[in-house]
Structure 1
Amino acid sequence: MADKAKPAKAPPAEGAPEGAKKGGKKKLIILLAIPLLLGGVGAGLWFSGILPGLLGMHPPVEAAAPAATDVAVAPPPAPPVFLDMPDITANLNAPGRRAPLVRIRSRLELARAEDSAIMTAAMPRLLDLYATYLREMRPEELRGSLGTHRLREELIARANLVAAPARVVDVLFVEIIVQ
């Protein structure tokens, strides 16, 4: 009773469960590595442009490139057309006894050469709009590059309003003085 014999373990035979455990881990690693490897190869082929070409997702290079005889030579861009504006001097809107002055010398960049005649004819009205707008500005609004940019945008809008068929592309400041 006191001596109950425990059964002795037999030595593991070849191919026993201990070997099966190690083989199971290897199989699991292989089963995970194969899809990752295939995914990496597929991504490499896709981003290199080989796979879309094989799948017919874009035309072959020969069909995409136009023939040398089909190429039309674009005409060179027209040179810019500039129109000098007369100097504009205006009082700024500021409290106090002495109102600050602003003096602006600028050029208009026009879309076409034909627009210069229209702008020259509309110049008195344009100068009136510019001077009226400048009289309502405060000196703080003209400070910094942001103030200059806002002024430019407002002057372009007013110039395009005055000379309706003509188009002003940009207002180029030669000089801005606030006193």
Structure 2
Amino acid sequence: MTFAFLRSMVRSRCRFGASFAMWLIIFGGNFGSGDTLAENDGLEEDFTLDPDDGLDEELEDASTEGGRKRAWIKMALFVLVGMLLLGGIAAGLWFFFFKKDAAGTDADINVSPAVQSTQSTAMPEEDTVFEEIIHLGLFERVPLKENANMSLVSVDISLELVDTKSRHEVLSAAPNLRSVVESQMAEFTWMELRNSDGKIRLKYQLLREMNSQLGQVLIRNVYFRHFIMQ
């Protein structure tokens, strides 16, 4: 009977131990799984929140960088517009003030030589005397040989002497020399004198006839000025 009692006690303790072990396994596993789920939920929350937070930060950084770029572009545009305005104002001032002075200076430069050239052109006729040149005078409306509508010529003639010593002799014969000019021109037509060949022929013919009138070769050349046919 004692043995049977002991055996029953052992069996009951074994059952209690087995039951207690099973209880620990079941509830311990549940506790562990709960903790794991809680941890997993935390990880999922962290995982789901971190990408959004990083994206927001990247967007904020991008927007900040874009704003800085736009600010630099605006500043550069303002500086460029300001420089263009200043350049335009400076160019306008230069054109208004300096160009006017330059125009006045150019006018002085252009006018002064003209006055000087006029004076220099007039001075030789008054002050400078070429002893070998004799101004025979202006011949106005000298009649030509009539064979065209134009039958008159006006010309100013000067004579170049061979020697200045014969100046007085030639001046004394000036009226006769003028008659020679008029008579020789009457031998030419307008068609003959309208070109250079006809004028050269007239010159040599006048030289021959004038020197013949003087009795010796005292005239070297004949110069025509203001040769106008009418």
**Cα–Cα, structure 1 residues 127 and 140, in superposed 2: closer, same or farther, change >3 Å?**
same
- After TM superposition, the score normalised by the length of structure 2 is 0.40
For 1:10, the equivalent position in structure 2 comes to none
Alignment of 1:66-85 (within 5 A): 81-85=132-136
Q: 1:94 aligns with which of 126, 146, 156?
A: 146
For 2:222, the equivalent position in structure 1 comes to 171
For 2:213, the equivalent position in structure 1 comes to 162
What secondary structure sits across from 1:130 in the alignment? Answer: helix
Question: What per-residue deviation string (whole Å, max 9, x for no partner) do you get for residues 64-114 of structure 1?
Answer: xxxxxxxxxxxxxxx871000111131111147x66211110110001111
- Aligned-residue Cα RMSD (Å) equals 1.9
How many correspondences in the alignment?
100
**CA distance in structure 1 between the partners assigned to 2:146 and 2:139 by the alignment:** 18
What secondary structure sits across from 2:215 in the alignment? Answer: coil
Moved over 6 A (4+): none
1:171 Cα deviation (Å)? 0.4
1:125 paired with 2:176, answer yes
1:132 Cα deviation (Å)? 1.2
CA contact (8 A) 2:144 2:152 kept: yes
Looking at both structures, which has the greater relative contact order when contacts are Cα pairs under 8 Å and sequence separation is at least 6? 1
CA contact (8 A) 1:107 1:171 kept: yes
> Where does the alignment leave 5 or more consecutive residues of structure 1 unmatched?
1-78
For 1:105, the equivalent position in structure 2 comes to 156
**CA distance in structure 1 between the partners assigned to 2:178 and 2:131 by the alignment:** 22
For 2:186, the equivalent position in structure 1 comes to 135
Greater helix content: 2
1:165 Cα deviation (Å)? 3.5
**CA distance in structure 2 between the partners assigned to 1:117 and 1:87 by the alignment:** 20
CA contact (8 A) 1:84 1:106 kept: yes
What secondary structure sits across from 1:136 in the alignment? Answer: coil
1:167 Cα deviation (Å)? 1.3
For 2:24, the equivalent position in structure 1 comes to none
**CA distance in structure 2 between the partners assigned to 1:166 and 1:152 by the alignment:** 15
Percentage of pairs with the same residue: 23
> Where does the alignment leave 5 or more consecutive residues of structure 2 unmatched?
1-129
Structure having the higher Rg: 2
**CA distance in structure 2 between the partners assigned to 1:165 and 1:135 by the alignment:** 24
